[in-house]
Structure 1
Amino acid sequence: MEDSGDFHNSCEVTSSGRDESNSHWVMPHLLIKMLSKSRWKILALLVVFAVMVWYYTSWEERYIQLFYFPVQEEKSVCPQGEVEKKTALLIGNYTRDHPLFLQLKDYFWVKTISPYELPYGTKGSEDVLLRLLAITSYSVPETILSMKCRRCVVVGNGHRLKNSSMGEAINKYDVVIRLNNAPVYGYEQDVGSKTTMRLFYPESAHFNPKRENNPDTLLVLVPFKPMDFHWMESILNDKKRVRKGFWKQPPLIWDANPEQVRILNPYFMEITAAKLLNLPMKQLRKVKQKPTTGLLAITLALHFCDVVHIAGFGYPDSGNKKQTIHYYEQITLKSMAASEHNVSHEALAIKKMLELRVVKNLTYF
């Protein structure tokens, strides 16, 4: 009985073992069969994934090449003529014949009557302009004019400069152009300390220009309206201050050396509006939009420099209501709502410059 029982049990074990071995064999077989049927699908997915990885990588590289240029070019190589050639593709009838700053002799004898009023011309403001030009200057320092290669950087006021550590790189440029009341003191590590030119208008003038600029900085007035000339004249002549006619009260005390003050040629504002923003110059009174000082500064650099780089340009996405727009204060894009600047329009103009490689970026855009 035990033998028959042992035999029976052994048969059960053998049968069970065969079933288990069959199941171990059947499962891999089914899996291989399933994979065999799906191999083309899997292969297709792998191909799609590979293409997506390649596209993303190449797109990122193209973006960096177009909109980000973290290293300054070697000073031994100067691409003379490149800026002019590329800017001519961007600006019709491009020329460097126009002076950067207004001169007394051109207005004393009324050589050319401007067809536009401020900010695109001086029509109707000649009298006060004459008085202002008599106490300021128009020359560009010989140290800059004599340079074989003028490497310029236009430093915007954007939040992208905060914690950027770009200060040392910015200071290495021959010409550093800054905007409005953007401070340098206390932000040197991110924005540098060198200032060759500072473009501003009365409402954006820093109350202490000597603290935020170098002793030889050219303080360039960007006139938007006749009252801007009156403000500057009253400040430099220490006359009764002009208080009305401004959207924001400008400084009543502005300690600057008249020899360092320049009046920007409105020609560059006209070119910025007409050629870069395509504003209808024949209907100026109907068009409220005006270029920002930043875009104007880039236009100026394109007419003066052999190398033009920019840093700190670009605004947050329109949907981002909390992101600050400047590296030195907490105001957001909401503050631009009532301005006469179309930041989206200007962003497209700058991106076009980057795509044509007319300018290069030190910070991402």
Structure 2
Amino acid sequence: MKINQRWKAIAFFVIVMVCFGMCWFLRVEYYIQRSYPNVHEMCIPGDVASKAEILISNYSRDHPVFLQLSDYFWVKNQSKYRLPYGTYGSEELLIKFLALTNRYHVPEDIKRLRCRRCVVVGNGHQLKNSSLGETINKYDVVIRINNAPVHKYEKDVGSKTTMRLFYPESADFDPQLDNNPDTLLVLVPFKPLDIQWMKIILNNEKRVRKGFWKMPPIIWEVEPENIRILNPYYMSVTATQILKSKKMIPKMIPKPTTGLLAITFALHFCDMVHIAGFGYPALTNKKQPIHYYEKVTLKSMFASEHNITVEAQAIKNLFQQNIIHNLTYF
């Protein structure tokens, strides 16, 4: 009897130690992911570029960040690919649209920064109760994605928004409540109709209701000078270099999420790149919400054109090569 009790005690002790070890390991992993990035660390001009050019062949910062009227009006644009990887076939529509906005450049207060410290804020559930708002607000450039709200979530996600990448179907955010007066609203066109929708909104023309997988806003109060169109070069780089697609055949090219696209853009635009709120629950976790602001689960992603497993590995590669750092667990 005493021998059995002793063995039970040993087994209990072993189980407790294993559980303690696992908890400690997870705790360390969690804080490694959360604690090492520091917005106040020294920003080294060209640091991200020097690392990204090893990963991305033909890496260049010479491409215009946003599409410009001069690219199409004065010079014959030689894009080989259609949207979202190029502008072939959309030139006339772009001339009409870009003539409306008459703004194509990065604001001077950002352009003149000697070193750009950027954070790309994802929409992930990891941000809920993170209290990262004050930290996020301290970056020079805060890039947000799609319809992620800021209003009522400032404690966790901050209130500063330098740029917001979106497309018509993801434009169901309040431009006044969820942005700042000088926020750049950066359209990511997946199809010519996306540019047409934006043109219709700015001109207050008859709305188009067909051709979208989700109905975009009918009324959208924005200032034309705040609108930009992201250069499709970044979408092409994301698909071919970050996701390693070897063939530029429309049906075979992976469609990156707006989040991964935003990270790729930051690699070309910033000198320091931190991210927050990226990553999905395990495929077996069908109950945890995927966003910090709603209860939608991973099930909603099953019918999408995105390969979130491949994207997760791509982001991990960027961590491992010390190109980007994470403010939340991944």
| TM-score normalised by L of structure 2 | 0.90
Contact 1:69 1:360 in 2 (8 A): no
Q: Secondary structure at the match of 2:176?
A: helix
Q: Which residue of 2 aligns with 1:39?
A: none
Match status 1:294 vs 2:230: no
Q: Deviations over 1:10-47 (max 9, x none)?
A: xxxxxxxxxxxxxxxxxxxxx9xxxxxxxxxx9xxx9x
Q: State the 1:62 CA deviation.
A: 6.8
SS of 1:303's equivalent in the other structure is helix
Task: Please state if 1:307 is matched with 2:278.
Answer: no
Contact 1:200 1:222 in 2 (8 A): yes
Distance in 1 separating the partners of 2:285 and 2:134 = 30
- Deviations along 1:30-79, whole A, 9 cap, x unmatched? x9xxxxxxxxxx9xxx9xxx9x99999789757754x333652425x222
TM-fit CA distance, 1:95: 0.9
Structure-2 residue corresponding to 1:3: none
**Equivalents in 1 of 2:82, 2:90: separation in Å?**
8
What residue in structure 2 maps to residue 117 of structure 1?
82
- The letter of the residue matching 1:281 is K
Q: In the TM superposition, what are the counterparts of 1:90-101 in structure 2 within 5 Å?
A: 90-101=55-66
SS of residue matched to 2:286: coil
1:262-299 superposed Cα distances (whole Å, 9 cap, x missing partner): 00000000000000111233322344x30000000001
Give deviations 1:64-115, integer Å, cap 9, x for gaps: 54x333652425x222222111111211111111111000001113433111
2:161 counterpart of 1:179:
no
1:234 paired to 2:200 = yes
Higher helix share: 1
Secondary structure of the structure 2 residue equivalent to 1:309: strand
2:248 and 2:322 mapped to 1: Cα distance?
A: 30
In structure 2, the partner of 1:198 is 164
Task: Tell me, in whole angstroms, the C-alpha distance in 2 between the residues paired with 1:275 and 1:81.
Answer: 20
Q: Match of 1:178, SS? A: strand
Tell me, in whole angstroms, the C-alpha distance in 2 between the residues paired with 1:314 and 1:352.
13
Is residue 321 of structure 2 the alignment partner of residue 353 of structure 1? no
Q: Aligned with 2:165: secondary structure?
A: strand
Alignment of 1:1-365 (within 5 A): 64-65=31-32, 67-69=33-35, 72-74=38-40, 77-136=42-101, 137-287=103-253, 289-365=254-330
For the Cα contact (< 8 Å) 2:166–2:187, is it kept in 1? yes
Count of residue pairs the alignment pairs up: 317
Structure 2: distance between partners of 1:112 and 1:69: 45
Which ranges in structure 1 are unaligned for 5 or more consecutive residues? 1-30, 32-41
Please name the residue that 1:10 is paired with: none
Q: CA RMSD in A?
A: 2.4
Give the TM-score normalised by structure 1. Answer: 0.82
Letter in 1 for 2:59: Y
CA deviations 1:316-356 (Å, max 9, x no partner) are: 00000111000001110110111111111100000000011
Q: 1:207 to 1:188 in 2, by over 3 A?
A: closer
How high is the sequence identity, in percent, across the aligned residues?
62
- Paired position in structure 2 for 1:13: none
Q: In structure 1, how many angstroms separate the alpha carbons of the residues matched to 2:276 and 2:173?
A: 24
Q: What do the CA deviations read for 1:241-275 (whole angstroms, capped 9, x no partner)? A: 11111000000001000000000000000000000
Return the alpha-carbon distance in structure 2 between the equivalents of residues 206 and 285 of structure 1: 28
CA distance in 2, matches of 1:54, 1:185: 40
**Counterparts of 2:119 and 2:262, CA distance in 1:** 10
Q: Does the Cα contact within 8 Å between 2:148 and 2:173 map onto a contact in 1? A: no
Work out the CA distance in 2 between the residues paired with 1:62 and 1:163.
19
* Contact 1:220/1:263 (<8 A) preserved: yes
- 1:301 maps to a residue whose letter is A
Give 3-state SS (helix, strand or coil) of 2:63's partner: coil
Q: Residue 146 of structure 2 aligns to which amino acid in structure 1?
A: N
Q: Is the 8 A contact 1:70 1:363 kept in 2?
A: no
Larger Rg belongs to: 1
CA distance in 1, matches of 2:293, 2:24: 34
Cα 1:110–1:245 change in 2 (3 A) is farther
Measure the CA separation in 2 of the matches of 1:266 and 1:147.
Answer: 25
Q: Secondary structure at the match of 2:177?
A: helix
Q: Which runs of 5+ in 2 are unaligned?
A: 4-9
Q: Distance in 1 between matches of 2:73 and 2:55?
A: 34
Query: How far has the Cα of 1:158 moved from its partner?
Result: 0.2
**Partner secondary structure for residue 324 of structure 1:** coil
Instruction: Check 1:358–1:69 CA distance in 2 against 1; reply closer, same or farther (3 A cut).
Output: farther
Q: Give me the whole-angstrom Cα distance separating, in 2, the residues matched to 1:316 and 1:281.
A: 30
Q: 1:356 to 1:237 in 2, by over 3 A?
A: same
The whole-number CA distance in structure 2 between the counterparts of 1:281 and 1:127 is 27
